[in-house]
Structure 1
Amino acid sequence: MVIDKTGYEHLIQFLAENLSLFEQPGDPAANHKTVGEFLEERIAEQIIQLCTQHSELEMNHRSIIIREVDGIMYDFQEVLASVLEQPVTLEQAELINETALLIKNLFDNAIADLFD
């Protein structure tokens, strides 16, 4: 649905281009979450919102989305493995929020194509 599209490749490239943000020390965000926890929560929130907004999705479509999100999380955890347990900084939280929105956007576009 999205993992095999160029948009996903661009998303991974975007994350790779911003890896230095995860290598720099910074002020921890007030939420006391790790990078891994924050990433999982933000992506989960966006996917829940996606499924809520697209009530026309059938169960098989939702299953595909969940499998792809699992793959996306795996890819991101591989890229960010060395920092997953570190406290998320404000700058990292902003990047993760933006990334989660981009993931939702990829799925929104794929769903639109699916029903066109």
Structure 2
Amino acid sequence: MVTDKDGYLHLIQYLTEHLGLFESPDPQDAMSDTVLELFEEQLAAQIIMVCGQNPELSFEQRNMVIREVDAIISDLEEILAKVANHRATASQSIFVSEFSGLIKNLFDQEIDHLLR
């Protein structure tokens, strides 16, 4: 659905190009959530929004979306392995929020094609 599209690959490249943002955090700027928790929370919020905006999705289609999100989280765990458990900073939170919004855009596009 999403993870097999070029747009997703570009987002993963975008993330890897910005890994430096996550590798040397400022401990004084640390939040309570870890980097991975922040990604999980932001993606969950975006997917809830996607499903809420598309009430006509069937149960099977919603499950497909959830499986895709699980695959994305798995990819993020692999990419962020060294920093996943570090406390997130405000600048990382901004990046994660923007990245999650871009993931939502991919889902919006695919769901639009799916429901036509």
Name the TM tier (shorter chain): over 0.9
Deviation at 1:28, TM superposition (A): 1.2
Deviation at 1:84, TM superposition (A): 1.1
Aligned residue among 5, 11, 30 for 1:28: 30
SS in 2 for 1:83: coil
| % identical equivalent positions | 48
Deviation at 1:36, TM superposition (A): 1.3
SS in 2 for 1:25: coil
Is this contact kept in 1: 2:25–2:88, CA < 8 A?
Answer: no
In structure 2, list runs of 5 or more residues that go unmatched: none
Structure 2 Cα separation of the partners of residues 25 and 35 of structure 1? 10
* Paired positions, count: 114
Structure 1 Cα separation of the partners of residues 2 and 46 of structure 2? 15
RMSD of Structure 2 on Structure 1 (CA): 0.8
Deviation at 1:7, TM superposition (A): 0.5
Is 1:63 paired with 2:101? no
Alignment match, 1:82: 82
In structure 1, list runs of 5 or more residues that go unmatched: none
Deviation at 1:25, TM superposition (A): 2.2
Structure 1 ranges of 4+ moved more than 6 A: none
TM-score by length of 1: 0.94
Deviation at 1:114, TM superposition (A): 1.1
TM-score by length of 2: 0.94
Offset from partner CA, 1:81-100 (integer Å, 9 cap, x none): 11111110111111110111
